[in-house]
Structure 1
Amino acid sequence: MANFRISVSVLFCIVSAGLAAGQDGGPFGASQGGMRREMVPALFIFGDSLIDNGNNNNIPSFAKANYFPYGIDFNGGPTGRFSNGYTMVDEIAELLGLPLIPAYSEASGDQVLHGVNYASAAAGILDITGGNFVGRIPFDEQIRNFQSTLDQITANLGAIDAARSLAKCLFFVGMGSNDYLNNYLMPNYPTRNQYDSQQYADLLVSQYDRQLTQLYNLGARKFILAGLGRMGCIPSILAQSSSGGCSEEVNQLVLPFNANVKAMMNRLNVNLPGARFIYIDSANLFEDIVTNAGTYGFSVVDRGCCGIGRNRGQVTCLPFQTPCPNRDEYVFWDAFHPTEKVNIIMARKAFNGDISIVYPINIEQLANFDIEN
């Protein structure tokens, strides 16, 4: 990571959550511009390709999206986001009054003042996940990268001020999809022969518990955990179906993981003093969008906007491939990832939705929650 030297006078100057200059308006009127209140000092992001914004660009990996038509609707063009535009965390950052959060691979100097995105396409909770794509940054390594950032912050602020600031920040974690799609469901991985669905979920969440506790021990207090969506309904899985319908086998497969994550979250909220974890029910969100597709303006719920083969899901979006022109009518951008419009809808519902979507409180309430150290 590029060297960054940050003076005490500027680093986390946003801790006061004062007014900051607004960025250019986001898509669908996400921002109104002008001055806006920053609800939290910073947003730190951990995850996979659903929220990666360029960390895989310069590593030897087959999991990259730094080419057109990825980013076709994003102001910066192809950046490494696996979307036609915004990811879910881009919209969440704007709703919090923050600028877009930079990728760890590119963040330097004052760029880290509002947080860092450590997410990596093909990454999983398990280090072995995503090996078919060669290079990726697993969750354990993402945590080490955060620790590197934290070491720099602590060196400038001192341990007490750094900890006080960090306790007010939000930590978004979206892990687990690849542990199924690019591990358990891959024929060249042994895990499916070693574990049934419940045993595998137990393995994953045991590791996940350790990793989140490690972040807590580094000073994180406010956590947003994203559950797994209905992965049996993504174009890649649909393309393998003889009936063309969702794979209920895959949908059922991930249910124990989501159940375990909720139980873990409740346990951590009790056992980790001062911590506050919330859970985004991605499966319920997706179900709502598909069931009420017309209400949201969607007309295509089972095919990618960009891709090749059945459901445009057998081969994902290729360089300079021409995508569908009516992208706002598609739920899926490519074989695996939602369109910008879906990302924004999900972010907004997670931000101020009720307990059927985000539990036990929403992101807005978490941002305003006063953590007692």
Structure 2
Amino acid sequence: MGLLLLAAAFSTAVFTRMAAASTVVPAIYAFGDSTADVGNNNFLPGNQAKANFPHNGIDFPRSRPTGRFSNGYIGLDFMAKKLKFNKSPPAYLSISNDAQANRGVNFASGGSGIFDATGQNFSISLNHQIKYFKGITRRLRTRISGGAAYRFLSRSLFVFSTGNNDMIGFYVNFGLKNETQQQLFIGQLTGQFRNQLETLYDLGARKFVVFGSSLIGCIPILRLSVPGAKCVEDLNNLSQQFNKATQIVLRDLASTLKGFSYSFINTYDFISLVSSQPLKYGFTDIISACCGSGRLNAESECRPNSTYCSNRDEYFFWDQFHPTQATYRLIALTAYRGRRYASPVTIKQLVGL
């Protein structure tokens, strides 16, 4: 028995030291939609909501399409690098053994949402992503002691980029003319999100990074439906409502749950600033997609036979929906250290709490 206890203690020490070595936090767990997916959708049946083909990944090492909805890296990759990880955590569905999950896991799925109905049949809902994480924690506690697992998870970072597809789906299905209907929808959406955050808290999460919704009414595919290729401002307003309600939820959770801390990233205001003076931030086109076809290069998806821009770092949008690597980098670095757009603390400050 003594030898078994000694072996268990040694295993715990080795795991904890290996997982925390040289990084600012022991692990990163990511949840959300295509803005955070690093390849989970590659493993789902069908052809919807996938990016594992050219020209996606053209600026990734070896020009490899990984399943990221980008010409290269996404925000999580840049954030992980700032936290001294060699690379961001692997897609959950790509993992073949628990050792690959020692530094965290990415559960995000393109097309998914806070509601189960969003992206149903072709993506992994946030609820299902949390179920996957529950399995990870259960196995973690069987490999190391409960106390060590608690310390490991409480120091880890839990990152969210979600809600966008729920709001776009609501707009497409119902329109946004009825304010009462909008308020009811936002209340239900953020109420569900609150329950999901509480579930993760109960599983051991303590440090939360929540990226707010951006100017989703300005994505190229939606501009096509507006005269003059302007933004769908009603949808932008819904995004702002979601952000305000989410911040209220986060403040309330921080005041009622012991040890709950967070950084809310005000992506909306930051991107509004970038859009008002794009050249200052290196962008010459903040309206069109870099890869696609037709008007605004947004009438079709980015496919192997699509045309794509050569000056990709000067484009805000990569395809009909998603930012370029340059945009992701800008948002991630601002989230990490930009006090004006992160509250109540930046990511850099959060990991030090």
After TM superposition, the score normalised by the length of structure 2 is: 0.92
| 2:91 counterpart letter in structure 1 | A
How far apart are the structure 2 equivalents of 1:155 and 1:192? 52
Q: Which structure 1 residue ranges, 5 or more long, are not aligned? A: 1-6, 20-37
Indicate if the aligned counterparts of 2:176 and 2:234 stay in contact, CA closer than 8 A: no
Distance 1:193 1:64 in 2: 34
Counterpart position of 1:28: none
Post-superposition offset of 1:198: 1.2
Identity %: 36
Task: Choose from 13, 16, 19 the match for 2:17.
Answer: 13
Shift of 1:190: 9.9
Kept in 2, the 8 Å contact 1:44–1:171? The answer is: yes
CA distance in 2, matches of 1:253, 1:8: 47
> What is the aligned partner in structure 2 of residue 104 from structure 1?
92
Deviation at 1:192, TM superposition (A): 8.8
Structural RMSD (CA): 2.0
Is 1:75 aligned to 2:69, yes or no?
no
Structure 1 pair 10–70 and aligned structure 2 pair: CA distance change class (3 A): farther
C-alpha distance after superposition, 1:185-225 (max 9, x if no partner): 233x7999896211110000000000000000000000001
The CA distance in 2 between the partners of 1:99 and 1:114, in whole Å, is 10
1:306 and 2:295 are equivalent in the alignment: no
Query: After the TM superposition, which residues 339-358 of structure 1 pair with which residues of structure 2 at under 5 Å, given as runs?
Result: 339-354=324-339, 356-358=340-342
SS of the residue corresponding to residue 314 of structure 1 reads coil
- Picking from 288, 292, 295, the partner of 2:273 is 288
Which deviations, in whole Å up to 9, do the C-alpha atoms of 1:150-189 show, x marking residues without a partner?
A: 11111101211101111000000111000012x20233x7
2:33 & 2:82 partners in 1: Cα distance? 21
After superposition, the Cα gap between the structure-2 partners of 1:192 and 1:116, relative to the gap in structure 1 and judged at 3 Å, is farther
State which of 117, 123, 145 in structure 1 corresponds to 2:106.
117
Structure 2 residue matching 1:285: 3-state secondary structure? helix
Q: Determine if contact 1:43/1:171 at 8 Å carries over to the other structure.
A: yes
**Matches for 1:209-248 after TM superposition, within 5 Å:** 209-248=194-233
- 1:130 alignment partner, SS class: coil
Larger deviation: 291-300 or 191-200?
A: 191-200
Cα deviations across residues 253-276 of structure 1 (Å, max 9, x unaligned)?
222111100111110110110110
One-letter amino acid of the structure 2 residue matched with residue 143 of structure 1: I
The equivalent position to 1:129 in structure 2, one of 112, 118, 133, is 118
SS in 1 for 2:279: helix
8 Å Cα contact 2:292/2:307 also seen in 1: no
Asked if residue 275 in structure 1 is aligned to residue 276 in structure 2, the reply is no
- Alignment-derived partner of residue 54 in structure 1: 39
What one-letter code is carried by the residue in structure 1 that aligns with 2:289? G
Indicate the SS of the match to 1:284: helix
Specify the SS of the correspondent of 1:167: helix
- Alignment coverage as a number of residue pairs: 340
Q: Distance in 2 between matches of 1:69 and 1:9?
A: 44
Distance 1:200 1:45, change over 3 A: same
Runs of 4 or more off by more than 2 Å in structure 1? 7-15, 107-111, 189-195, 319-322
Which has more helix, going by share of residues? Answer: 2
Letter in 2 for 1:300: D
Q: Tell whether the 8 Å contact from 2:291 to 2:297 is kept in structure 1 after alignment.
A: yes
CA distance in 1, matches of 2:283, 2:81: 24
Residues 59-68 or 316-325, more deviating: 316-325
Residue 363 of structure 1 corresponds to 347
1:176 pairs, out of 163, 166, 179, with: 163
- Which position in structure 1 is the counterpart of 2:248? 263
Q: Contact 2:317–2:324 at 8 Å: present in 1 too?
A: yes
Is the 8 Å Cα contact of residues 12 and 148 (structure 2) preserved in structure 1? Answer: no
Contact residue 49 and residue 121 of structure 1 kept, 8 A: yes
- Residue 172 (structure 2) aligns with: 186
Match of 2:7 in 1: none
